[in-house]
Amino acid sequence: MASLITCPHCGVRPKEEFAIRGDASLVRPAPSASDEAWHDYVYVRANPRGRTVEHWHHVAGCRRFLVVERDTVTHEVYSVVDGAAAAREAQR
Amino acid sequence: MVRDYNNRHALDQKLRGAPKPAHADHLEVGHWQAIATVLAHVGLDAAVERALSSTPDLSLRYCGPGEWLVVSGVDTPVGLMRRLDMLCGTQAHVVDHSDGRVLMRLSGPSARQILAKGIGVDLHPAAFVLCGSTNVLCGHIAINLARTGEDVFELIVSRSFAESLFEDLMTMGRPFDLSAAFSE
């Protein structure tokens, strides 16, 4: 696993300071969406090989949610963005 | 039955007894330090930081975006709260943490080597600058670490973790003959 994460607020930190909170690429379905869509959103997860986007929580540091793009094979970290900033970017 | 409430310091048990002389590397534990958390309202980070840093005897410790621990060496907890309310009461949430946090001051030529055993940040003088501060993990305990002097570091930890962190630090400092005492 990627062992050093460059937090946008705290700098380079070991992965022990973080908690991984799961896939960040999921989009919440509309409230009126079908039960299948909601079931998939809540329970069904892929186990990807390669590039993934995840929510990481910097528990022992700034306590902010980050969006980390990393590779599960090569352990390379491509980008780390603050979760609020990523959400603002996505809304645009 | 009525019992008196004894307000004891979190490390009272550990540091009881006659004060021993301080060695070259020394851990000093603050007695009733005034500490408060300030969390700026959305979008007012810069304004609050300006208000806080304009006051010379308040020491600001960075926790995260728009969040600081404010340490005062001269105020009582109540006095600090009153001052912070006047400074930025309308722009930020201010919470008194004087009883909830314990401040430890580690000083001496081997301070960096001692801390490096438990902390995952670069402590080199050029990387961790004077007056720099940040939240880090020391062993398994989340602390706020600040550099207040050339070889002086201040650790702020939750009261419930203070005893555990104290024991960890003393173990980390054993090869350097680390001594510990309450500050005067």
B49 φ, ψ (degrees, to nearest 5):
-60, -40
Chain B environment of A11 (Cβ under 8 Å) = 121, 134
Beta strands in chain B (DSSP E): 26-29, 34-40, 58-64, 67-72, 92-96, 101-107, 133-138, 141-149, 152-158, 179-182
d(CA B11, CA B181): 10
Q: At A68, which helix (H) or strand (E)?
A: strand A65-71
User: Domain of A11?
Assistant: 4-91
Mean pLDDT within A54-60: 94
For A4, the token pair is 């050093």
How many CA atoms lie within 13 Å of A39's alpha carbon, on the beta-carbon side? 3
CATH architecture of the domain with residue range B26-31+100-182: 2-Layer Sandwich (3.30)
Chain A environment of B42 (Cβ under 8 Å) = none
The verdict on a CB contact (< 8 Å) between A12 and B122 is: yes
DSSP state of B10: T
d(CA B141, CA B100): 15
d(CA A91, CA B105): 45
* Interior angle at CA A9, CA A5 and CA A15, nearest 5: 25
What pLDDT shows up at residue A1? 63
Mean pLDDT score of chain A, rounded to an integer?
92
d(CA A9, CA B68): 13
Report domain B34-96's class.
alpha beta
How many CA atoms lie within 13 Å of A22's alpha carbon, on the beta-carbon side? 8
% of chain B residues with pLDDT over 90? 65
**For the segment B60-96, what is each residue's pLDDT rounded down to a tens digit?**
999 999 999 999 988 899 999 999 999 888 899 999 9
N-term to C-term CA, chain B: 36
The verdict on a CB contact (< 8 Å) between A64 and B134 is: no
A-chain residue closest to B68, CA distance: A62
A-chain residue closest to B133, CA distance: A10
d(CA B39, CA B28): 28
Q: Is A3 on the interface with B (CB under 8 A)?
A: no
The verdict on a CB contact (< 8 Å) between A14 and B142 is: no
| Number of domains making up chain A | 1
Is the predicted pLDDT of residue B57 greater than 80, yes or no?
A: yes
The verdict on a CB contact (< 8 Å) between B120 and A10 is: no
Residue recorded with tokens 């090989």: A49
A63 dihedral zone (left: phi>0; alpha: psi -120 to 50; beta): left
Q: Is A11 on the interface with B (CB under 8 A)?
A: yes
Q: Which amino acid is at B165?
A: L
Mutant choice from B39, B49, B62, B135 vs A, greatest count of A C-beta within 10 A = B135
Chain A environment of B134 (Cβ under 8 Å) = 10-11, 61
Chain B environment of A12 (Cβ under 8 Å) = 121-122
Query: How would you class B16 by CB atoms within 10 Å of its CB: exposed for 0-12, middle for 13-18, buried for 19 or more?
Result: exposed
Kindly report the CATH number assigned to the domain that includes residue A11.
3.30.2270.10
> B103 near B155, Cβ under 8 Å?
yes
Chain B environment of A7 (Cβ under 8 Å) = none
Mean pLDDT within A3-8: 92
Is the predicted pLDDT of residue B18 greater than 90, yes or no?
A: no
DSSP state of A42: H
Q: Which amino acid is at B48?
A: V
Q: Range with the lowest mean pLDDT among A37-41, B29-33, B97-101, B154-158?
A: B29-33
**Which candidate from B65, B120, B121 shows the least CB-CB separation from A9?**
B65
DSSP B131-177: T-EEEEEETTEEEEEEEEETTEEEEEEEHHHHHHHHHHHHHHTGGGT
Delimit the domains of chain B by residue range. 26-31+100-182, 34-96
